[in-house]
Amino acid sequence: MTKPTIGELLSGVANSLRELVLPEIPPGTTRRQIQAAIGIIRRVALACDKTGPYLFADNQDIEENLRRILPSLQRAAADEDEARLKAIYAKLRAALEPSPQPAESYPSPDALGGRNVELQGLLAEVQEALHETPAAESADRTEMLSILRALFRRMLQRELEITSPAPAKR
C-alpha cells in the first residue's frame, strides 16, 4: 500500500486548514466556509481508504447470495409459471456466469463500483419480483426472502463500518 494513503493525505490537509489557516481568518462567511470544507474533507478521508475493500467484500457477498438464490428462484418460476421470475432467473444466471477473461486478484475501483451497481440492480429486481408477483407462500420464496434479509443486514453493517468515524486516538 502506498504511504501516505489518500485518506491520510486528506486528513493532513484538514488538520493544516484547522490549525494553520482557520486561526488567521476572521469570523464571518469565509471562516464558516473553511470550517465546512474541513468537515467535508474529514468525512471523505474517513471513507476514502475503506471504499475499495468495502466494495470488494460487498460484491463477493452479493454474488455468493445471488448464487444461493438461483435454485430457489428457478423452482419458484417453474412452479408458479411466472414470466417475470423466469426472466429474472435468466438475467441473474447470465450475470453470475464466470467471465471468460482471467479474474483480477483485486479489480480497479471503477470495476468494483461498476460491478456493485450491477449487482445492486439485480438484487432490487429479485426483491421487486418477489413482492410484485403475489403467490401463495412457498418454501422457495421464504428461503429467498430470508437470504435477502440476512444479506441486507450485512450490507448495512459494512456501510456503517466505512461511514462511522474512527474512534479518537488517545
pLDDT digits (tens, 9 = 90+) for 32-67: 999 999 998 988 887 777 888 889 999 999 999 999
Residues with Cβ within 8 Å of 60's Cβ and at least 6 positions away in sequence, in order, are: none
Give CATH for domain 52-163. 1.20.120
* Global confidence as pTM: 0.71
**Burial of 65 (C-beta count, 10 Å sphere; 0-12/13-18/19+):** buried
Q: Are 126 and 69 in contact (CB under 8 A)?
A: yes
Say whether pLDDT at 102 is over 70: no
Location of C-alpha cell 474512527: 166
The ranges assigned to domains in the chain are 6-48, 52-163
Range in 74-78, 130-134, 152-156 the model is least confident about: 130-134
Residues with Cβ within 8 Å of 124's Cβ and at least 6 positions away in sequence, in order, are: none
Please state the φ and ψ torsions of residue 26, each to the nearest 5 degrees: -70, 155
Written as nine digits, the cell of 23 is 486561526
Query: Among candidates 124, 126, 138, which has minimal Cα distance to 69?
Result: 126
